Amino acid sequence: MMTEPKVLLVDGMALLFRGFYANAYGGYIRKTKAGLPTNAVFGFVKYLFDACRTFEPTHIVCCWDMGSKTFRTDKFADYKGNRPEAPADLVPQFDLVKEVVDGLNIPNIGMIGYEADDCIGTLSKQLGAHMDVYVLTGDHDMLQLVDERVKVVIMKKGPSNYAVYDSEALLEEKQLTPKQFIDLKGLIGDTSDNYPGVKGIGEKTATKLLVEYDSIDGILDNLHALPKGVRAKIEADIEMLHLCRELATIYCEAPVSCSPEECLWRPDHSKIASLFERLEFNSLVKDMSKLVLSVS
């Protein structure tokens, strides 16, 4: 039976950071005999394999942030300015994880000046012309990418625990369309990305306004009809509102590309086995063997 083609677009940093913190409890950091920290990469591979078993992609791409300076920091200097330095044991794993992804025969894609989100958004449009797209992330900002061909898979706590969003699930759970998610962030801001939105407007009020007036533009056209307090808050922060909407928008025309042929997943068993041996990932070799058999 021919499997319908399906691409998994992986938010690399989301998996790597999750892997690091899940495998750093009690202060123990997994290292090779030579002292190279590998806990984040080990966690990354476990999460990736779990998603492969769950969603059975025929194609995979992994997207990465390429440094902290992007076109968003040019617009708003404090963008993501609250992020702490990466833990020292994680730093050497940034390059190592890309080497492992490469060893799995999966393309690594990133572009200086853009975030992984922009690369994922761009590739979801390109590859969505050919097949169904599943975006694997922990980041709710990605929900704006949902469309007929694109589902967003949010990783939740614990193994094999995913929330899969299509337009119907989004509307049912959040009362919003994918496009309205951008306007929601414009109104309420994003503490993890360090932009403020409109001071004093929370998610409940913002959702109510968007359900009633459809968009930020619709809200601004009807300022006269809003309760006095809400209207005053929006008027006081109108420039920030427009800026935050821009910052929240994933740019889907980043200068990256990947054809279906380039991201067809064809793992090479012996190549991966020797890579895992070198990293002392012995417990993952069995996982990998089962997975590779199911793919081939």
pLDDT score at 269: 87
Portion of the chain with pLDDT greater than 70, in percent:
98
Handedness of CA 43, 47, 49, 50 (dihedral sign): positive
Average pLDDT over every residue of 67-84: 90
Q: 254 with 200: CB under 8 angstroms?
A: no
- pLDDT tens for each residue of 15-63: 999 999 988 877 789 999 999 999 999 999 999 999 999 999 999 999 9
Mean pLDDT of 235-254: 96
Sign of the four-CA dihedral 156, 120, 133, 291? negative
| Cα angle 46-174-243, degrees, rounded to a multiple of 5 | 90
Read off the pLDDT of residues 180-205 as tens digits, 9 standing for 90 and up. Answer: 999 999 999 999 899 999 999 999 99
pLDDT bin (cut points 50, 70, 90) of residue 275 is very high
Tokens of 36: 């190279």
d(CA 106, CA 96): 14
Position 128 pLDDT exceeds 60: yes
pLDDT band at 1 (very low <50, low <70, confident <90, very high): very low
Summarize the confidence of residues 169-189 as an average pLDDT: 95
Q: Spell out the domains of the chain, with CATH numbers in brackets.
A: 6-170+251-284 (3.40.50.1010), 174-248 (1.10.150.20)
Q: pTM for this one?
A: 0.95
> Cα dihedral sign for 144, 147, 150, 153?
positive
The more confident residue out of 268 and 219 is 219
